[in-house]
């Protein structure tokens, strides 16, 4: 695919399309990209029902911090949520699934950099959090992290891969436009790329 990074077959490219119009998104679909990421429910409501009606094979991933009171909208509109990070959100997602049972992918976000401004479970509390999800019946398929912007991302990616292996989780979402190649070396299974695509004229 022209202007799209070449990835191993087992790695999912999630094209982050926040603040992009449907007219800008459609060329990516036509080039074969099937997974897209958005971080605002209102923007999803405005763009994606029509896109998914026109292209029923595409999938949508919620990539931002999700408010518990938006859980139902996220379940109704998305196929994957990768920012599950607190018991109140788990409860809200479980309630939403009761109203709309459907196949969903859930990843727990881990705050490996201990950054107060970011969401995510503290790594030392991950066991407890995953047990809570299991007890509530929310199936967590993997983990996600965003490393500190001013540090080498490699140790954080390596740690997330270790945590995925330790908990026998199949999905490892890490790496964005500036560092996805490093994430691939640490065996990411999903990378979230936005600016890289648009900088190449897509």
**Structural fold of domain 12-199:** TIM Barrel (3.20.20)
Mean pLDDT of 90-116: 95
Domain boundaries, the chain: 12-199
pLDDT exceeds 80 at position 129: yes
State the pLDDT at residue 195.
82
The closest alpha carbon to 174, from 196, 159, 157, 162, belongs to: 157
Residues whose CB is less than 8 angstroms from the CB of residue 70 and which lie 6 or more positions away in sequence, other chains included: 41
Which of the listed ranges 113-117, 135-139, 193-197 does the model predict with the highest average pLDDT?
135-139
Hey, is 9 helix, strand or coil? coil
- Which of residues 111 and 200 earns the better pLDDT score? 111
Which burial class, exposed, middle or buried, applies to 147 when counting CB atoms under 10 A from its CB (0-12, 13-18, 19+)?
A: buried
Hey, is 83 helix, strand or coil? strand
What tens digit of pLDDT does each residue of 175-192 get?
A: 998 899 999 999 999 999
Could you tell me the two tokens for 135?
């007890």
Which residue matches tokens 């990378």? 191
State the pLDDT at residue 194.
87
What tens digit of pLDDT does each residue of 33-74 get?
A: 999 999 999 999 999 999 999 999 999 999 999 999 999 999
State the pLDDT at residue 202.
46
Binning pLDDT at 50, 70 and 90, where does residue 200 land? low
């Amino acid at each position: 695919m022209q202007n799209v990074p070449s990835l191993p077959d087992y790695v999912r490219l999630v094209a982050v399309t926040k603040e992009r119009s449907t007219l800008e998104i459609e060329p990516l679909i036509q080039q074969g990209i099937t997974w897209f990421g958005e971080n605002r429910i209102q923007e999803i409501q405005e763009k994606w029902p029509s896109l998914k009606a026109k292209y029923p094979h595409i999938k949508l991933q919620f990539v931002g911090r999700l408010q518990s009171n938006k859980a139902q909208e996220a379940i109704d509109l998305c196929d994957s949520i990768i920012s599950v990070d607190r018991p109140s959100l788990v409860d809200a997602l479980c309630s939403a699934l009761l109203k709309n049972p459907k196949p969903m992918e859930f990843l727990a976000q881990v705050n490996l950099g201990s950054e107060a401004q970011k969401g995510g479970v503290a790594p030392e509390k991950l066991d407890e959090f995953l047990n809570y999800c299991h007890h509530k019946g929310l199936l967590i398929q993997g983990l996600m992290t965003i490393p500190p912007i001013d540090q080498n991302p490699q140790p954080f990616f390596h740690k997330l891969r270790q945590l995925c292996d330790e908990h026998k989780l199949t999905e490892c979402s890490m790496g964005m436009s500036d560092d996805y190649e490093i994430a691939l070396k640490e065996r990411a299974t999903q990378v979230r790329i936005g600016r890289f695509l648009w900088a190449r004229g897509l």
